Amino acid sequence: MKKLSFMLLVLLFVFIMPENGHAASGNNKIFLDGKELTAGQSVPVENVNGTIMVPLRMIVENLGYKVEWNQSAKTVTIKQEGKVIKLSVGQKTASVDGNTVILTEAPVLKTDTSLVPIRFISEQFGLLVEWDNKEKTVTITSPAASSDSGSSTGSNSSGEGTSTVTSPPDSADNLTMVNGVSFSGNQLIIAMDGSSEPKISVLNNPDRIVVDIPNATFSDAFGSGQSLDPNLQGKLDATEYPDVKEIRYSLFSSNPYTVRFVIQLNYSKDFGYSTSVDSTSKLAIVDLNAIGGLAAAGSTGTTNDTTVPPGSNGKKLIVLDAGHGAKDSGAIGVTGKYEKNFNLAVVLKAQALLKKEANIDVVLTRSDDTFLELKDRVAIANNLNADLFVSVHANSSSTSVASGTETYFKRDESKAFAKVMHKYLVQATGLSDRGVQYGNFHVIRETKMPAVLLEVGYLSNKKDEALLFTNDLQDRVAASIVSGIKEYLGIS
Ligand SMILES: [Zn+2]
């Protein structure tokens, strides 16, 4: 019992300590263009789930913006030169000139000051914001200061609505937003909104491919899907790919704004590059498989494959997910066949068919026998803002008589998609129709677009298993996936 009470004491201590840590956070310093805003003041700066939160009013007023605080509604309104930004304490969405923006963390109230994510400040006001975790110092650089004469920015903190201070760059309105990135199947795929054309360079010593996206920054959606440190840098995991040593990304420059991705290779390598163009969004794909079909533009990759004429409805992005993989075999058939291999075969066939569709882009969560966590499959689809998600599986039951085809959905918005997909799938298998069903599966629950999980047949049933591992059946199922997707999207 003595030991137990000691443990309780330790636990208590652990829980109380963070509060003390916060209370002692008064020695944080905030610099704007070299001038300390925090001189002689105690300022809260907090780390909330890895997001550095800084006091909004102090920074924004020093930039010459007007800040209004509504005590009862707990809302902050920032105004300058027609631009209006509204934030609410505890809410992850903000409004910028009527458009909704997602914050990585909701604003919090601390010592009568609202704290907001450091990146919100940098993105909305066109600033370079850096956080030195060791010194507990926030350094803010306005674009004017970083370009030349760094002296004339910043008003006195008492200045009320002074208009001579720095305002965000005009170009902030039409910055391209980089929404997500993934590396799967030996392809780097970058999702973005905006008109910027990526520039690709190939460099040696070490061998690397550099993708620069001019006039671009990371959107909040990017930060919610991938790790992005306060310096706006991060890395992708590509440890399973022998060609690749490391993939990193950063806001390479804030003047002019440039987002950079670097694929550091283990040896020099040919690759293909393409950009799919859409009226509002696009994918840039650097394909280290250097295969055809992607309309690879050669190793210099300076031209783009524009298969959809601008002004058309644009391409839809489909993420196909072959269930399981590698050490996770999924169900095992009565004769010992693995579900993971069936799933992959169908997905590869469906991918080949979808690649022929002019209005569809397709991305696979896995294109070979590799293992992915469920959350990684979801992240690929969410990071890329995919339009549809289809996960392919085969079922198993303790009773060998169980047989037939099922289609699962989890969220209401997926139900109509599930019905269409099931109609074609049942036709394709010819097995008994076990219906469209509600199922609480991770990949169709956590994805943010209409998502279905197909259980094509039962590997525990001898007849189903034999059928599922025929080329004909796999071709038909792949074709049915394409038919369902096209009907749901209204593509003829
Ligand atoms: Zn499965």
- CA dist 118 and 98 (Å) reads 21
pLDDT mean across residues, the chain = 78
Ion ligand 1: residues, CB within 5 A, are 323, 330, 393
Distance 50 CA to ligand 1 centre (A): 34
Taking residue 132's Cβ as centre, other Cβ atoms within 10 Å add up to 12
> Could you tell me the residue ranges of all domains in the chain?
24-148, 171-311, 315-492
Q: How far is the CA of 262 from the centre of ligand 1 (A)?
A: 35
Which pLDDT tens digit goes with each residue over 256-284?
889 999 999 988 887 777 766 554 566 78
Token pair listed for 110: 């601390």
pLDDT at 433 > cutoff 60 = yes
Q: From ligand 1's centre to the CA of 325, what distance in Å?
A: 10
Domain 315-492: give its CATH code.
3.40.630.40
- Cα(393) to ligand 1 centroid in Å equals 4
| Domain range 24-148, CATH class | alpha beta
Q: Quote the ligand 1 centre to 182 CA distance (angstroms).
A: 23
The class that CATH gives domain 171-311 is: mainly beta
24-148 and 315-492 share one CATH topology? no
453 Cα to the center of ligand 1, angstroms = 9
Q: Quick one: which of 67, 87, 285 has its CA closest to 186?
A: 285
Query: How remote is the CA of residue 455 from the centroid of ligand 1, in Å?
Result: 8
Residue 459 token pair: 């590997």
Chain centroid to CA 118: 19
Q: Which of the four pLDDT bands, split at 50, 70 and 90, describes residue 42?
A: confident
CA 65 / ligand 1 centre spacing (Å)? 54
Does residue 437 register a pLDDT over 60? Answer: yes
Write down the pLDDT at residue 484. 98
From the CA of 111, how far away is ligand 1's center (Å)?
51
What is the C-alpha separation between 319 and 401, in angstroms, rounded? Answer: 33
- How far is the centre of ligand 1, averaged over its atoms, from the C-alpha of 403 (Å)? 15
Sorted by sequence, the CB contacts under 8 Å of residue 462 that are 6+ apart come out as 334, 335, 400
pLDDT in tens, 278-301: 545 667 878 887 643 333 333 233
Q: Position of tokens 């792949």? A: 478
How close is the Cα of 354 to the center of ligand 1, in Å? 23
